[in-house]
Structure 1
Amino acid sequence: MSRWECAIEGDDRTFDRVEDLIVHQASAHEHVECKVCGTVLPDGYFAIRHAFEEHTRADYVRAYDATAAEVRRREQVKQVVESAADIREVVDRLEGGDGTL
């Protein structure tokens, strides 16, 4: 089974479960500001999800000076994570405030 790599700012920490990765990204890294609307949110999966659920691809390309390949890569990451993750578990863990791994 492949492991899930963080990959935020060179963080090469890996996790057996995608839920552990998302909790790590949301609790161990600085939050980021969306360049489209200014919303501050956790980096990683939650930032990608926000970008593609709240904004158009064109908004993302303009704000982040992104290429089509970069957009496709992030869309693929979102799809792969969502097909494997129990997002309810992630939210419950983050709302519980413990962020345990």
Structure 2
Amino acid sequence: MSRWVCGVDGCQGRFEDVEAAIVHQTNEHDRHQCKVCGTVVPEGYFAIRHAFNEHTRAEYVRAYDADSSAVRERERVKREIETDLDLQAVFERLDADVDVDLD
């Protein structure tokens, strides 16, 4: 059974490793425009990473009309992914023409 599920917009894509899931999110789903600063990033993990690395929890809550449970869920997902993630492997798997803003 595949451990990683995409989850973007109800996508049920299943993957053996987290890197494959992130590559799928980056290549197969529309980009996400941050409601706090307007930066465009890949949907899924990179959008969550951007939100919580670049903005405060309060900014996120206001911009996304989120509550504390939504924040905790995204923080949990980010933490779980980063436990297993080899970011260099993601970069190596991405198509050469994909522009990923990680800031």
What is the TM-score when the length of structure 2 is the normalising length? 0.89
How far apart are 1:87 and its partner, in Å? 0.8
> Within 5 Å, which residues of 2 pair with 1:75-94?
75-94=75-94
Q: Which string of whole-angstrom CA distances, capped at 9 and with x for unpartnered residues, describes residues 35-63 of structure 1?
A: 00000010000000000000000000000
* Aligned amino acid, residue 10 of structure 1: G
Structure 2 portions without partners, runs of 5+? 99-103
TM-score, scaled relative to structure 1: 0.91
Map residues 53-72 of structure 1 onto 2, 5 A cutoff: 53-72=53-72
SS of residue in 2 equivalent to 1:36: coil
Larger CA deviation: 46-55 vs 83-92: 83-92
Structure 2 counterparts to residues 89-100 of structure 1, below 5 A: 89-94=89-94, 96-97=96-97
Paired positions, count:
98
Q: Percent identity?
A: 55
